[in-house]
């Protein structure tokens, strides 16, 4: 089993739609969680950290479910510019290595 | 501008040749990382470094060598390039667990 797993998609949604991605992780002792965004094989960029209590940044909401070992990303009112690959990243306990999922591709159409 | 820069941006080489990919950061971050990205595998950690003169293997270190004589530089060397090393290589530095990536080097081994 991979340490971090994501549905590769693509998720094809119309503008204005709400879309959600999940990401599961295998190490129950994982301590830090992030969502990164990557455009067309450019470098990944940090989208947001994921906190235990859940957190929101504009149209984006991230949540962590430790019991079921998954994190989620919700995007409301999708824009064309949201089209990208979203990477789930997990830091196992007591390590400085970040483990990446293979990414979920989102395509927003007009 | 401050940041993390990689060179070259594109490189074509032949099997058996030695190739060095350069990475330079201006933030003085302690941690630096090398990832490769391939379709179907996502980002995989090759090597990382916690500080100058401290390096450690990641998930896929075979065929690669790194050094970190100065905090700001973290070159990656392919000692004898193979076709399986054709990939996009990303260097990154981190602060507070968050990664900041260079623009990547697209390497083709013929």
pLDDT digits (tens, 9 = 90+) for A16-66: 999 999 999 998 888 899 999 999 879 999 999 998 888 999 999 999 999
Instruction: From chain A, pick out residues whose CB is under 8 angstroms from the CB of B45.
Output: 97-99
How confident is the prediction for chain A on average, in pLDDT? 92
Instruction: From chain B, pick out residues whose CB is under 8 angstroms from the CB of A49.
Output: 98
Q: Give me the pLDDT at residue A64, please.
A: 95
Minimum distance, in Å, between the CA of residue B100 and any CA atom of chain A: 7
Q: Give me the pLDDT at residue B97, please.
A: 80
Dihedral sign, Cα of residue B51, residue B68, residue B63, residue A85: positive
pLDDT greater than 90 at residue B6: yes
Minimum distance, in Å, between the CA of residue A15 and any CA atom of chain B: 27
A25-84 residues touching B, CB cutoff 8 A = 32, 34, 36, 41-46, 49
Minimum distance, in Å, between the CA of residue A49 and any CA atom of chain B: 8
Interface contact A44-B45, CB threshold 8 A: no
Q: What percent of chain A has pLDDT over 70?
A: 99
Q: Give me the pLDDT at residue B2, please.
A: 62
pLDDT greater than 60 at residue B12: yes
Alpha carbon distance B27, B13 (integer Å): 31
Higher per-residue confidence, B96 vs B45: B45
Interface contact B43-A43, CB threshold 8 A: no
| A92 contacts chain B (CB < 8 A) | no
- The DSSP string of A12-75 is EEETT--EEEEEEES-TT--EEEEEEE-TTS--EEEEEE-TT-EEETTEEEEEETTTTEEEEEE
As given in the structure block, the two tokens for residue B30 are: 């302690």
pLDDT digits (tens, 9 = 90+) for B34-69: 999 998 778 999 999 999 999 999 989 999 999 999
Interface contact B43-A100, CB threshold 8 A: yes
Alpha carbon distance A33, A91 (integer Å): 6
């Amino acid at each position: 089993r991979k340490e971090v797993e994501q549905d590769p998609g693509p998720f094809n949604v119309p503008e204005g739609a709400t879309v959600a991605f999940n990401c599961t992780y295998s190490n129950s002792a994982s301590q830090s969680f992030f969502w990164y965004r990557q455009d067309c094989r450019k470098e990944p960029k940090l989208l947001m950290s994921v906190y235990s209590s859940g957190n929101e940044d504009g149209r984006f909401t991230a949540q962590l479910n430790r019991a079921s070992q998954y994190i989620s990303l919700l995007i409301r009112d999708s824009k064309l510019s949201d089209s990208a690959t979203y990477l789930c990243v997990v830091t196992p306990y007591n390590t400085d290595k970040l483990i990446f999922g293979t990414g979920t591709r989102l395509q927003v159409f007009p | 501008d401050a940041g993390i820069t990689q060179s070259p941006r594109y490189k074509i080489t032949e099997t058996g040749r030695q190739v060095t990919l350069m990475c330079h950061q201006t933030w003085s971050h302690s941690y630096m990382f090398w990832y490769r990205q391939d379709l179907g595998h996502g980002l995989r950690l090759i090597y990382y470094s916690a500080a100058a003169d401290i390096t450690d293997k990641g998930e896929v270190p075979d065929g690669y060598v790194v050094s970190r004589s100065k905090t700001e530089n973290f070159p990656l060397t392919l000692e004898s390039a193979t076709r399986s090393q054709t990939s996009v290589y990303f260097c990154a530095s981190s602060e507070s667990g968050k990664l900041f990536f260079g623009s990547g080097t697209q390497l083709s081994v013929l």
